[in-house]
Structure 1
Amino acid sequence: MTARLAILASGRGSNLQAILDAIAAGTLDASVVGVFSDKPEAPALQRVPEALRWSRTPKSCGGRAAFDAVLGDAVAACAPDWIVCVGYMRILGEAFVQRFAGRLLNIHPSLLPKHKGLHTHQRALEAGDAEHGASVHFVTAELDGGAVIAQARVPVQPGDDADTLAARVLAVEHPLLLQVLRLAAAGRLAERNGQAVLDGQAVFTPLPLESTAT
């Protein structure tokens, strides 16, 4: 059965476009049933037909808790199998996370648990890291704190700045996210007691990016 994906995005939506391209190419058995944003001007919204777009601001909803409730109702209305955060810049409240527990995924541009939050590329450089990368993880109410499913690693090269490192990470973000979404769409991925589970077995070490991932 084709997996139904609800996408949460705040920015340009390059990962969303990678998902749409994979669906169109027949390499991801899924459909995007809604794109949701806390920023009405987010370019990500323009990547899907108007009927699939939803946007509100927390201020327009009367605050964070009310926004999460309205967002949750809108997401639930499209009956998604998975909710995927791609550059969604708000921390989801505990009520929202519990409502969709085990079905919430996020891609984060660092090798978690390193560099949670923002400005990850600059922080990796300042820390003198030899490697940087991206992680796909289950979402909890803790910032970037859920069980990590898979990671892709890139070297930090002499002369890198935040922009060049970000570009190198973005190049592996897309195939990493698609790799995890294929597992999710095939019914092979789950979360159990705060642990990522693949084919019924706990994932103790994040899955690496497959060299064949596209």
Structure 2
Amino acid sequence: MAKYSNKKCRFVILISGRGSNMQKLVETCNNENWSADISAVISNNPKATGLDWAKEKGLNSISLDSSYYSSRDEFDRDLSIEIDKYSPDYILLAGFMRILSYSFVKKYYGKLINIHPSLLPAFPGLNTHSNAIKSGVRIHGCTVHFVSPELDSGPIIAQGYTNVFSYDDVKTLSERVLKVEHKVLPSVARWLTLSEIMLDEQDKVMILNNHNGLFYL
């Protein structure tokens, strides 16, 4: 059974662009009065419009320009320093378009959670929507998973899916999948605030209280 306490669950959210998943998560957290604290929003892109939105909402907004760093390890070191200032329970990658170093992932393993725009293990990496259309699949969607050192391969927490129609192009499909993402990520984040997601020693995800980790739009 989940253990409940008065302690708020602390999140740091990483973004690279407009941060629509971050925005939906923050709005849902506020509207539903979660026992959570969005401690900071950090972007590797100083021009990310999501940072402006976060600032307007009074959130700590930090920019670390990844183009200034000569190596991934150097950037990840400074990113880790910023993250550790907030002692988060979880770090949510919401459209964070960087591959993280092995040492970074190992340091935060079990706390790092990513949302990926495909039904993993199908279509890891980039261009997921065009790849889905080219492959002829009938369903497509998103996956929320714990981050592991191997790209887009960590233990899966939840997935959301939608139909792929014959008339779909990348734009229409991506817009529909984004609506699914806006359902799945806030749901997972809320379960985290309630201590209803567990990762055991065998890296198996357990979701308590009979939550269904599959969503459809």
**TM-based fold match above 0.5:** yes
Give the aligned residue type for 1:100: Y
- What's the offset of the Cα at 1:195? 2.2
Does residue 38 (structure 1) correspond to residue 44 (structure 2)? The answer is yes
- What's the offset of the Cα at 1:26? 2.0
- What's the offset of the Cα at 1:173? 0.5
Task: Name the counterpart of 1:66.
Answer: 74
- What's the offset of the Cα at 1:191? 1.9
Give the aligned residue type for 2:203: G
- What's the offset of the Cα at 1:210? 7.5
Deviates more, 1:6-15 or 1:39-48: 39-48
- What's the offset of the Cα at 1:90? 0.3
Is the CA contact 1:107–1:136 (under 8 Å) kept in the aligned structure 2?
Answer: yes
Q: Aligned ranges for residues 148-167 of structure 1 at < 5 Å?
A: 148-167=156-175
Secondary structure of the residue aligned to 1:144 is coil
- What's the offset of the Cα at 1:178? 1.0
What does the per-residue CA deviation read over 1:171-207, in whole Å, with 9 as the maximum and x for residues that have no partner?
Answer: 1101111111111110111222322222399x9xx82
- What's the offset of the Cα at 1:51? 6.3
- What's the offset of the Cα at 1:94? 1.2
Is the CA contact 2:90–2:113 (under 8 Å) kept in the aligned structure 1?
Answer: yes
Secondary structure of the residue aligned to 1:24 is helix
Does residue 9 (structure 1) correspond to residue 15 (structure 2)? The answer is yes
What does the per-residue CA deviation read over 1:9-55, in whole Å, with 9 as the maximum and x for residues that have no partner?
Answer: 00111001101111221253322111111111111111222761112
Alignment partner of 2:138 out of 126, 130, 136: 130
User: How many Å separate the matches in 1 of 2:45 and 2:142?
Assistant: 24
- TM-score norm. by structure 1 comes to 0.90
- TM-score norm. by structure 2 comes to 0.89
User: How many Å separate the matches in 2 of 1:162 and 1:210?
Assistant: 19
Is the CA contact 1:132–1:154 (under 8 Å) kept in the aligned structure 2?
Answer: yes
Give the aligned residue type for 1:67: F
Secondary structure of the residue aligned to 2:188 is helix
For structure 2, the 5+ residue unaligned runs are 1-6
- CA 1:28 to 1:157, structure 2 compared with 1: closer, same or farther past 3 Å? farther
User: How many Å separate the matches in 2 of 1:114 and 1:165?
Assistant: 16
- What's the offset of the Cα at 1:158? 1.6
For structure 1, the 5+ residue unaligned runs are none
- CA 1:27 to 1:109, structure 2 compared with 1: closer, same or farther past 3 Å? farther
Secondary structure of the residue aligned to 1:97 is helix
Is the CA contact 1:179–1:209 (under 8 Å) kept in the aligned structure 2?
Answer: no
What does the per-residue CA deviation read over 1:59-88, in whole Å, with 9 as the maximum and x for residues that have no partner?
Answer: 424421011011011101111111000000
User: How many Å separate the matches in 2 of 1:195 and 1:90?
Assistant: 25
- CA 1:27 to 1:128, structure 2 compared with 1: closer, same or farther past 3 Å? farther
Is the CA contact 1:133–1:169 (under 8 Å) kept in the aligned structure 2?
Answer: yes
User: How many Å separate the matches in 1 of 2:195 and 2:130?
Assistant: 36
Q: Aligned ranges for residues 66-85 of structure 1 at < 5 Å?
A: 66-85=74-93
Task: Name the counterpart of 2:206.
Answer: 197
